[in-house]
Amino acid sequence: PRLLDDEEGGVVFLSSSLSSASSIGYGYASIEKQRQRLPVYKYRTAILYLVETHATTIIVGETGSGKTTQIPQYLKEAGWADGGRVIACTQPRRLAVQAVASRVAEEMGVKVGEEVGYTIRFEDFTNKVRHLSSYLSIFGVIIFVMHAGISSLAVQDLTAIKFLTDGVLLREMMDDPLLTKYSVIMVDEAHERSISTDILLGLLKKIQRCRSDLRLIISSATIEAKSMSAFFHARKGRRGLEGVELVPRLEPAILSVEGRGFNVQIHYVEEPVSDYVQAAVSTVLLIHDKEPPGDILVFLTGQDDIDATIQLLTEEARTSKKNSSGLIILPLYSGLSRAEQEQVFSPTPRGKRKVVISTNIAETSLTLEGIVYVVDSGFSKQRFYNPISDIENLVVAPISKASARQRAGRAGRVRPGKCYRWLYTEEYFVKEIPAEGIPEMQRSNLVSCVIQLKALGIDNILGFDWPASPPPEAMIRALEVLYSLGVLDDDAKLTSPTGFQVAEIPLSIWVSGRGAQKELDEAKLRFAAAEKKVIEIREQLRRIAQRIGIVMKSCESDMQVVRKAVTAGFFANACYSEAYSQSGMYKTVRGSQEVYIHPSSVLFRVNPKWVIYHSLVSTDRQYMRNVISIDPSWLLEVAPHFYQQHRLNPIH
Ligand code: ADP
Ligand code: MG
């Protein structure tokens, strides 16, 4: 491995590239020392004791204190993975799952996919023997024989620690509702309150009633531990047991890991700036020119503005008269290749300064060493859903004060740092920025959430025990759409076979606009950079289709079939352009909202009369992204309920 002395106190830093067998011996001692220096190490015994004695343990600790990488290892060392059991650790983000799994594998001196594995949608790097066993039903006897033959050899390297997205764990519940193979489930980054995390918390609370052997750890950087504890403690029908000693205890334990962050000085702009990208670039160059060594982390909102900033920064750094040669400029967002990820995590060479331009993934999910300066736009892309118009929007909106503090904290990991909030003034921050964010559950379209719960047999969705209740209007909208799609029947149960088939397929094809930016980005990147991946995904979908009895048929070159299929899934997103409208303005059939085709679309100047979009993005206007043209008669054909139900007849 590449070893580099840190200027501060000689901390030895091992590069994050995968260890080869020969490198382990050399790097191991220093990694062990590094592990012991983490704040969470002092709490090792306390954590193990609390997990042993409590059904739920809530752990709060500063980003970088070692929660994600260390706690699963402590649990394994204490025997929680013995007897073929698995320790799970969930993350809201795919990239975090991959990065953390490879870090932990490196610390343990194993390869990813052996004792330490990870699973994200379309990617399963857990032990192959386990993995194959899930295909037993397909390949039948042959694999069974192979399985029996090799399992005796492979016992030692079954996956003991598994990192996965919370969405994937939810999906696993469809096959194994009580998640029986897991001994401990650590729901990490719980403060993010993603939809999947919230559904998961609600379901895990139910599972706990049936499995006294299961332990939960809820961990995050900032969480209102008390309300989370109250959620897990409040149980119907348990009152009579108060005062009785139960093992494990049902009242959650709360542990706060003392951080060791350094002081971070905050700088604001004196006047709001107008050119966002230019301001980010100027701030970075100013730091590089005036400030002592130390890496820079810039928070922007998504791939688009990150790419624009990188382009401008590269140009300006090249043409600038000042000394800008030492800059290493790197992007960080979901969907990066492994090589790109490694660059971000690898140590900065002496005499250079790394500039990482990131989405809010670097806010708490990932720790970057060596950051001394944070340049924070104060914004992120957030989903907002209006159940009245049934429109879900990705909006660039201010982050909460809690998030802004987290971002600033990234600058104080190795020594006192500085944070530049360059898009708003201090007064604006104090007066206008909300203290906490709103859980995603309360600002999203709930279609896929409802399908998932229904598929798990949870019929009383309105009465489900949520950590944060979703708005009833949004629930009703979701039920309505699913009914129109033929996924739910008159009793709001999944229809057979359609409803069950839809629930099995790990895509959001049936969801109106649930395509969050990160998923879109991922999808795009896969097409651009990894055609092989497309083939794999196709293969996986083909297997699922085969298993649930969908016959595969090629459309040959008849694109109309494809467009009709998309219409069948996204009919709720139909728009038409007003006759004689020269402005490119469209109206949504539902809610008559004004929308425009995004300039990046190939249909931008074509302006077909009728279109269907996949998602909306708000900037100066509401833009439709991923648009196809349709024939309006298809709408009545594929979704007669829907269009009758709303007594909408814009189809002239
Ligand atoms: P937490 O979950 O509390 O935010 P982590 O367990 O993710 O903390 O990280 C603990 C420490 O492990 C970090 O401070 C960093 O020193 C180290 N670390 C984590 N991930 C990596 C990585 N990919 N490369 C190098 N070091 C890492
Ligand atoms: Mg973490």
For every residue of 507-543, DSSP letters joined together read S-TTSSS---HHHHHHHHHHHHH-HHHHHHHHHHHHH
| Amino acid occupying residue 601 | S
When pLDDT is averaged across residues 197-222 and rounded to a whole number, the result is 92
Segment 52-58 mean pLDDT:
95
Whether the per-residue pLDDT at 59 is higher than 50: the answer is yes
| Nearest CA, atom 21, ligand 1 | 103
For atom 5 of ligand 1, the residue with the nearest CA is 66
Q: How far apart are CA 66 and CA 75, in angstroms?
A: 13
Residue 143 Rama label (left phi>0; alpha psi -120 to 50; beta): alpha
Strand partners, 18: none
β-pair type (594-597, 610-618): unpaired
Q: Which residue has better confidence, 438 or 517?
A: 438
CA of 413, nearest ligand number: 1
Decide: 69 in ligand 1 pocket, CB within 6 A: yes
User: Does the pLDDT of residue 506 top 80, yes or no?
Assistant: no
CA distance 73 to 169: 20
Q: What is the mean pLDDT of residues 447-470?
A: 87
Using one digit for the tens of pLDDT, what is the confidence trace for 272-294? Answer: 777 888 999 999 999 999 999 99
pLDDT bin (cut points 50, 70, 90) of residue 553 is confident
pTM: 0.76
User: What pLDDT is attached to residue 390?
Assistant: 72
Cα of 68 to ligand 2 centre, how many Å?
4
**Who wins on pLDDT, 332 or 18?**
332
Tell whether ligand 1 has an atom less than 6 A from the beta carbon of residue 367. yes
Q: Is 65 in the pocket of ligand 1 (CB under 6 A)?
A: yes
Residue type (1 letter), 100 = V
Identify whether the C-beta of residue 410 lies closer than 8 Å to the C-beta of residue 375: no
At residue 407 the predicted structure's pLDDT band, cuts being 50, 70 and 90, is: very high
Residue 473 scores a pLDDT above 80: yes
Ligand 1, atom 19: closest residue by C-alpha:
367
Task: Look at residue 138 and tell me whether its pLDDT is greater than 70.
Answer: no
Residue 583 has pLDDT above 50, yes or no: yes
Q: What is the pLDDT of residue 13?
A: 27
Higher pLDDT, 570 or 373: 373
**Ligand 1 binding pocket includes 89 (Cβ within 6 Å):** no
ipTM: 0.98
> Counting atoms of ligand 1 from 1, which one is nearest the CA of 40?
3
pLDDT over threshold 50, residue 509: no
Q: What is the pLDDT of residue 24?
A: 38
Compute the distance from residue 519 Cα to the ligand 2 centre, in Å: 21
- Residue 219's pLDDT is what? 94
Instruction: Report the residue among 103, 295, 336 best suited for mutation to probe ligand 1: largest number of ligand atoms under 8 A from its CB.
Output: 103
Q: Whose CA is nearest to atom 23 of ligand 1?
A: 103
- Answer yes or no: is pLDDT of 141 > 60: no
- Ligand 1 centroid to residue 367 C-alpha, Å: 5
Residue 533 pLDDT level (bands cut at 50, 70, 90): low
pLDDT confidence band for 326 (50 / 70 / 90):
confident
Quote the ligand 2 centre to 39 CA distance (angstroms): 13
Which of the four pLDDT bands, split at 50, 70 and 90, describes residue 590?
confident
Which of 32, 187, 367 most suits a substitution to test ligand 1, by most atoms within 8 Å of the C-beta?
367
Atom of ligand 1 nearest to the CA of 65: 3
**pLDDT for 188 beyond 90:** yes
| DSSP secondary structure letter of residue 109 | T
**pLDDT band for position 549 (cuts 50, 70, 90):** confident
| CA pseudo-torsion sign 642, 644, 650, 652 | positive
| Ligand 2 centroid – CA 345 distance (Å) | 15
- Cα(588) to centroid of ligand 2, in Å? 41
Q: Is the CB of 283 under 6 A from ligand 1?
A: no
Atom of ligand 1 nearest to the CA of 61: 3
Tokens representing 552 are 């595969």
CA of 285 to the centre of ligand 2 (A): 30
Q: Which residues partner with 391 through β-bridges?
A: 386
Q: How far apart are CA 433 and CA 443, in angstroms?
A: 18
